[in-house]
């Protein structure tokens, strides 16, 4: 599996395209709001000859969902989140304009993610790990063969996700990191929702929040 990343919107949010040798592609957390951002993502898909087959949200804070409707309108694919984040998603229209996104258009999921059901596309299977604390329905996606985690806003390089937003809880987040991420091998790469990639080993060794 290959991970291709884009950084979008005023929050510098990381959007990821996951694709494999089959040519099938999954979009995770599309933050593309401006037309130029949407066109950049679409141009990459076209240039790489990819077939978008699924839209996933690790969680549903505004910066991670701005492009949901664009992806659904463009590619007509299923859209999955964890059910515990449905209220978070539905709250976005009530404050989008306050954050400078007056043209945000909401989109409803077509189904829900659960840890019991892996996400499959092409030749790839992703393990769904429930990791609340930053958001009540936050999940991360683990691909064991390539030692890769798509981590959303749970764990960052030398930091962790904020817990002062509605539904956030510090103790819950720390427990999620310890049980769902630090149980993985040290050489696993974590692709976070903001900032550069890191590894489980690096964060286990030096992350000040995990000492």
pLDDT, tens digit (0-9, with 9 covering 90-100), for 42-57: 999 999 999 999 999 9
In 57-147, which ranges are E strands?
A: 79-82, 111-113, 119-121, 124-130, 139-143
Confidence (pLDDT) at 37: 98
CATH number listed for the domain at residues 2-210: 3.60.15.10
Which helix or strand (DSSP H or E) is residue 44 part of?
Answer: helix 35-47
Q: Is 152 helix (H, G, I), strand (E, B) or coil?
A: strand
Region for 167 from its dihedrals, namely left if φ exceeds 0, alpha if ψ lies in -120 to 50, beta otherwise: left
Confidence (pLDDT) at 16: 99
Short-list 112, 110, 131, CA closest to 176: 131
Confidence (pLDDT) at 109: 98
Residue segments in the chain with a per-residue pLDDT below the cut of 50: none
- Asked if 123 and 145 count as a contact pair (C-beta separation under 8 A), the reply is no
Say which residues have a Cβ less than 8 Å from residue 10's Cβ, sequence separation at least 6: 99, 100
Tokens for 141? 């996606």
In 37-110, which ranges are E strands?
A: 51-56, 79-82
Confidence (pLDDT) at 211: 85
Tokens for 169? 């809880």
How far, in Å, are 22, 53, 157 from residue 197 at the CA level? 25, 25, 7
Short-list 204, 143, 108, 191, CA closest to 1: 143
So where are the chain's domains? 2-210
């Amino acid at each position: 599996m290959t991970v291709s990343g884009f950084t979008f919107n005023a929050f510098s949010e990381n959007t990821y395209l996951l694709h494999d040798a089959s040519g099938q592609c999954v979009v995770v957390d599309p933050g593309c709001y401006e037309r130029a951002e949407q066109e950049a993502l679409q141009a990459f898909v076209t240039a790489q000859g990819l077939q978008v087959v699924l839209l996933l949200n690790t969680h549903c804070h505004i910066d991670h969902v701005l492009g949901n409707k664009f992806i659904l309108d463009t590619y007509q694919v299923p859209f999955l989140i964890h059910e515990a984040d449905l209220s978070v998603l539905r709250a976005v229209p009530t404050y989008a304009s306050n954050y400078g996104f007056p043209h945000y258009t909401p989109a409803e999921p077509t189904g829900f993610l659960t840890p019991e059901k892996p996400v499959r596309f092409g030749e790839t299977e992703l393990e769904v790990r429930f990791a609340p604390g930053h958001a009540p329905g936050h999940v991360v996606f683990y691909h064991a063969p390539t030692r890769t985690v798509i981590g959303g806003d749970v764990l960052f390089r030398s930091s962790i996700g904020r817990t002062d937003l509605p539904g956030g809880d510090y103790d819950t987040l720390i427990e999620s990191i310890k049980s769902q991420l630090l149980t993985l091998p040290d050489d696993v790469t974590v692709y976070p929702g903001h900032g550069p990639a890191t590894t489980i080993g690096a964060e286990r060794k030096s992350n000040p929040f995990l000492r």
